[in-house]
Homo-oligomer: A and B are copies of this chain.
Amino acid sequence: MKKSISGKMKEPSSAREEIRVKVIDAIAQTMDLYGVNYSFGQLYGILFFEDRPMTLEEMQTSMNMSKSNMSYAVRSLTDSKMVSKLDEKAGRQDLYAAETDFFKAFQLFFASKLQREIDVMTAAIKPVIEPLSETILALETSEEERKLCLQDLHKLRHAVRYYEWLQQFVDKLEDGQFFEGQQIGD
């Protein structure tokens, strides 16, 4: 997890660039914390500071990495909505821009992560509630097994309630309800 701060990126040449490198490192560390590849986090940081659409080629240059890796990075970042592909192109090259408003980035990143969690968990839980209930209701189920199933059923029902709540939470998040008074989308 520890990595030399500037890694293979081009050496900082001014005080300002040194500052950028430090902050980009913190951003990458943070994103790594949430399961994003450190280098991909760095790329977000670069796009954040550049604050203009960039092509894969430019990313390749500033990260000093292969184009294929930049392609993977950009896909990962667009999947989690922190970066988006523009409609316009620079000649034949695709353009990508970072969401530079941290409030919006928070909103997009967590909404997409949490939604994925809801989907994965719901897909696992919903289909097993019925069979589990049936086992409990079945006459041939042993006393002991029934007790265990009941325990599990209640855990799963609790989980279902939690994911219903979490879905509402995500809806509110997407709605911007947690950002009252903040200049989101300034």
Residues of A near any B CB (own CB < 8 A): 14-16, 19-20, 22-23, 25-27, 29-30, 32-35, 48-49, 51, 100-103, 106, 113, 116-117, 120-121, 123-125, 128, 131-132, 135, 145, 148-149, 151-152, 155-156, 158-159, 161-162, 165-166, 169, 178-179, 182
Contacts and interface: CB of A to CB of B under 8 A. Distances in A.
A99 to B, nearest CB: 12
Residue from A19, A33, A123, A149 whose CB has the most chain B CB atoms within 10 Å:
A19
Given A113-B33, A158-B102, A23 B135 contact: no
A76 to B, nearest CB: 13
- Counted per complex, copies of this chain come to 2
Nearest to A179: B165
A131 B18 CA distance: 11
A121 B155 CA distance: 37
23 contacts: A14-B145, A15-B131, A15-B135, A16-B149, A16-B152, A19-B128, A20-B152, A22-B128, A23-B124, A23-B125, A26-B121, A26-B125, A27-B121, A33-B35, A33-B116, A34-B34, A48-B155, A100-B155, A102-B158, A103-B162, A165-B179, A165-B182, A169-B178
